[in-house]
Structure 1
Amino acid sequence: MESEPNPQTMASDRASMSAFWEMVDAILGGAETMRAAGPIYLPKFENETTKDYEERRKTAPFTNIYADISRDLSAKPFSKQLVVGEGASQNIAGKIDDGKRSDGFVDNVDGRGNNLHVFAADSYKAGIDYGLDWILVDYPKATTDRALTQAEEVQRGLRPYWVHVRAKRVLAAYSDFVNGKEILVHVRLDETTTVRQDFEEKTFERVRVIDRLPIRGLDDVVTGYEPATWTIYEKQKVANSDREQWVAIEEGTYTIGVIPLVPFIPGDRIGTSFAVRPPLKDIAYAQVEEFQQESNLKAIKNLTAFPMLVGEGVQASDENGTKIVVPVGPRAVLLPGTNASGENATFKFIEPAATSLTFLEESLAKHRKQMRELGMQPLTETNITVITSANVSRKAGSVSESWAIKFQDMLEQCFVLTSMWLKEAPSAEALVHTDFTVDLDGASQLDSLLKAQAQGVLSKETVQSEFKRRGVVSDEFDPAVEKKRLEQDQLSAVPAIDPVTGLPVQPLTRPQKV
């Protein structure tokens, strides 16, 4: 008997990423999740008892350098407010009436009150950590069988919204090239959900399947694809049986025709699949190594920190053959007595050499330094050409800047889909901060700019624009307004002239007491 189709089946490229994504989840979860993973990331020593290993595992220290590096790199594009360009429509950017600005789509992109800056920062960090992230540009399903007019949609408060889809939720994604452009043709999303039922909760396993059926021409050649449709499947028990099956519980059509899902891939994509090389992959593996070294160092410290008591010529058991337990500690008194030969027994302490501790501590410190250096590499200046979806080449000053440029391109693709839902021409340009090179060594650069102006190499206006670029002055800084202020300051600094004497009028001063 053939097995029934299972929409929960993972594509091979998705399955190949599972182990790495689980490792990143454990690292970002901190000491608790790394310890819970057990021998996956903290191997058991040879001949180590289960009891000793469990004690070592439960108390293993964990210094999360990866999380620091990831957080710092992910924050770079958002050190300045993420906004849209001036050409964005009123639906996207909001509008101004009587001097008051009303909210637009960018003020609540996900329907949960998160603005564009907050929503995008979450997606960008996920892409840096996992190497892949997705945004679904969805639209509420109409409650009527007929298509609503735009006025009816506005009246009902229907609007597009963005959904952050973690890479782990995308069970499968397949694409094809049509007229030189890559499009998604089949996607399966894990939409398992937990709902409240009275005072309890119930979890439903669900998968959303999004399809575009091929249009075939002569010789069965694919010439295009039908508009996108979606179906939600739910795993349900078959009546009077222990067997389960997937049942379609809801379906519909994306009226904009395409699959409104956009990937963000900061790292390298492997071929045309959606398997990727995450940008921080080496640092993630180095973090696991750090965890193991730090745990080993603590274990060896425990073994070498306490001296061992040795009894020479001391009977191990009494006259009845009972094993003698020797107390150790400041409140204990040892009476060695004599051995069988009549010689005095002795006690002494021996302490293991701690030279290995120095080696391990130095090795751990060196490893942590190397991790920090790896984390700085994406910020170092280089020369990278980034190709966007519009086939426009852009230069990036560093690897991290190339990530931000790719992210900006992804956001603009999302705005195109949003405009399609709004039935208007695409207009929004995402203004993502990508100029990271000015953030490094800022003090020396400012000094060089001032010297260049003093030597006549650069104009005052150029230096002012560079100061604005580096965040020394606010984004509202206006060179024309500043010029008027400087002229006013100069006028107020010139003393008034006495018309009779022709001499500068000295400011009045209070007489000094003698």
Structure 2
Amino acid sequence: MTSIEQKHPVANPLQEHEDYVVRLRLPVALMGGTQAMRDADRAFLPQEPAESAAAYRARRDRTVLHNAYRRTVAYLTGQVFARDVVLGEDVPEAAVEFAENVDNAGNALSIFAEEVFRAGVDHGVAHILVDMPPAPRDAQGRTRELTRAEEREQRRRPYWVLVRGEHVIGWRSEVEGGRSRLTQVRIRESVSEPDGEYGVRRVERIRLLEPGRYELWEKRKGKGGDETWARIEEGVTTLDEIPLVTFMPGDRESAMTARPALEDLAYLNLAHWQSSSDQRNILHFCRVPLLFGKCLTRDEAGDIVVGPNRLIHSDSENADLKSVEHGGAAIEAGRRDLKDLEEAMALYGLQLLMPRTGNITATEKALDSAESDSTLKSWALQFRDALEQALHFTARWLGQEGGGSCEVNTEFRMQDGLDADLLLKAEQQGVISTQVVFEEFKRRGLLADSWEWREIEASFQNRPGLGLAALAGTFLRGDRPDSGASKA
């Protein structure tokens, strides 16, 4: 078809999308590491009122990020994908073969799924677009439907695309039979195209999807350098719904946006970044003592020169020269603040694995309450549903009904890097149960296998108010507590 070049509102994002992108700035910078946080400049590291620009830049460039946020995203994702996704026996044979290369880039289902899950935990929402290459056109530009044999011969098959939350810039939906149904979605894409003999340029596009049809728009430079959009492709599909699956572990803000799932942890990490900057700055100056002198003799130029092979003297009986050093109280207070923040960030990630208390969301209520006893487990179960929906769309593209079921890992274990002191603090703050800590100590070999939980439990019954930390020194030495319980 002939492209229609014009200014077009197809690229205008909804206000909900713009609000969502603002919330992503901190998680994006944290995932980028130290350099990205430095590049963010004053957005995340304020300049003090009397601080010069040069002093600010020096302080910023001395600051190194303790990236608890990125490690937690990786740790939580690793827990869910400690085992591969398992397809159910009800998955069609064609879909089983498809799962060996779901994205047409050679990535198997579990590899692709892990990337989607990580993106969802990081940004609060991620999508899977189950797409299909357009059908060929005849000489008149009309779409010609292929037979299954022709599709296999031409290797035309569906494929999955990770669509990050910030790339969905607009959407519409309606309620049918009590169920919300997408009627339009606009996705921003960026593709590489050859530029000259050796170069490559990035081209921005908007993919507009509606039930049964699609359009593809491309950003162009119009006359006078104005930005225009050209519709470069359009066509029909065999699906009566939009094959976009949404995974939303963050708190929902709209149909397609959510708060970043680890937003609170991101702000803890920001507080650590700023406190670390202050700490490194004060250490920089405190490590160089100041000289205080009075009534000293100046040289012929009127200066007092301090340095190697220099003698500073004076004929005055009131002369004095001494080194003035910082008392260190502020340094110690800063060190404690950093340690407290590091412990809080470590406990935050641990808390997502523990049984939940208090209110739960509507999405979590829809899951089996016996299964979703932790935040991470509820995310894993929600993600399983998303994968099954993607398998459903895949089957429909293949001309089959029902994509079958799958299973994701929901059996998690705490990382061995958590030391005994942090486990005890987590128990004291109610993040994890006393029995969990006891079992962790046994698993790590800190306690002999002959120990029984009932011995510890009986100690608490005989001595009300006694915490595990008070007993830790005893049972880590190998002594048995005064429980009154006999050894099995």
Hey, what's the Cα distance between the residues in 1 that align with 2:373 and 2:167? 33
Hey, what's the Cα distance between the residues in 1 that align with 2:363 and 2:344? 33
The answer to whether 1:249 aligns with 2:201 is no
Equivalent residue for 1:72, pick from 60, 72, 75: 75
**Match for residue 264 of structure 2?**
282
Instruction: Tell me if structure 1 keeps the 8 A contact 2:20–2:259.
Output: no
Q: Which structure 2 segments of 5+ residues have no match?
A: 1-5, 138-142, 416-435, 454-488
Instruction: Report the residue type matching 2:112 in the other structure.
Output: F
Q: CA deviation at 1:267?
A: 2.3
Hey, what's the Cα distance between the residues in 2 that align with 1:274 and 1:231? 20
Instruction: Tell me if structure 1 keeps the 8 A contact 2:30–2:37.
Output: yes
What is the Cα-based RMSD across aligned positions, in Å? 2.8
**Match for residue 390 of structure 2?**
414
Equivalent residue for 2:40, pick from 37, 40, 44: 37
Instruction: Tell me if structure 1 keeps the 8 A contact 2:127–2:245.
Output: yes
Hey, what's the Cα distance between the residues in 2 that align with 1:410 and 1:28? 24
Instruction: Report the residue type matching 1:115 in the other structure.
Output: A
Matched length: 415
The answer to whether 1:303 aligns with 2:285 is yes
Identity of aligned residues (%): 30
What SS does the aligned partner of 2:225 have?
coil
What SS does the aligned partner of 1:148 have?
coil
**Match for residue 160 of structure 2?**
162
Q: Which structure 1 segments of 5+ residues have no match?
A: 94-103, 212-226, 453-514
Q: CA deviation at 1:229?
A: 1.8
Instruction: Tell me if structure 1 keeps the 8 A contact 2:173–2:184.
Output: yes
Hey, what's the Cα distance between the residues in 2 that align with 1:8 and 1:325? 67
**Match for residue 483 of structure 1?**
none
Instruction: Report the residue type matching 1:369 in the other structure.
Output: E
Instruction: Tell me if structure 1 keeps the 8 A contact 2:167–2:188.
Output: yes
Q: CA deviation at 1:370?
A: 1.0
The answer to whether 1:238 aligns with 2:222 is yes
What SS does the aligned partner of 1:7 have?
helix
* 1:243–1:363 Cα change, 3 Å: closer
* 1:287–1:444 Cα change, 3 Å: same
Q: CA deviation at 1:380?
A: 0.8
Equivalent residue for 1:107, pick from 100, 110, 116: 100
Instruction: Report the residue type matching 2:103 in the other structure.
Output: D
Instruction: Report the residue type matching 1:267 in the other structure.
Output: G
Q: Which gives a bigger RCO, structure 1 or 2 (Cα 8 Å, sep 6+)?
A: 2
Hey, what's the Cα distance between the residues in 2 that align with 1:194 and 1:344? 76
**Match for residue 334 of structure 1?**
311
Deviation digits for residues 210-254 of structure 1 (CA, Å, limit 9, x no counterpart):
23xxxxxxxxxxxxxxx3321111122334x33332111111122
Tell me which structure has the larger Cα radius of gyration: 1
Instruction: Tell me if structure 2 keeps the 8 A contact 1:336–1:344.
Output: no
Hey, what's the Cα distance between the residues in 1 that align with 2:164 and 2:102? 17
**Match for residue 20 of structure 2?**
17
- Higher deviation after alignment, 244-253 or 29-38: 244-253
The answer to whether 1:203 aligns with 2:196 is no
Instruction: Tell me if structure 2 keeps the 8 A contact 1:11–1:171.
Output: yes
Hey, what's the Cα distance between the residues in 2 that align with 1:345 and 1:228? 92
Instruction: Tell me if structure 2 keeps the 8 A contact 1:386–1:406.
Output: no
* 1:117–1:387 Cα change, 3 Å: farther
* 1:80–1:243 Cα change, 3 Å: closer
Hey, what's the Cα distance between the residues in 1 that align with 2:147 and 2:349? 52
**Match for residue 469 of structure 2?**
none
Hey, what's the Cα distance between the residues in 2 that align with 1:390 and 1:6? 39
Equivalent residue for 1:347, pick from 298, 307, 321: 321
Instruction: Report the residue type matching 1:237 in the other structure.
Output: K
Deviation digits for residues 115-158 of structure 1 (CA, Å, limit 9, x no counterpart):
01110011001111110001000001122321111111111111
Deviation digits for residues 49-103 of structure 1 (CA, Å, limit 9, x no counterpart):
111111111121211111111111111111112120112111112xxxxxxxxxx
Hey, what's the Cα distance between the residues in 1 that align with 2:181 and 2:231? 25
Instruction: Tell me if structure 1 keeps the 8 A contact 2:116–2:162.
Output: yes
- When normalised by structure 1's length, the TM-score is 0.75
* 1:372–1:451 Cα change, 3 Å: closer
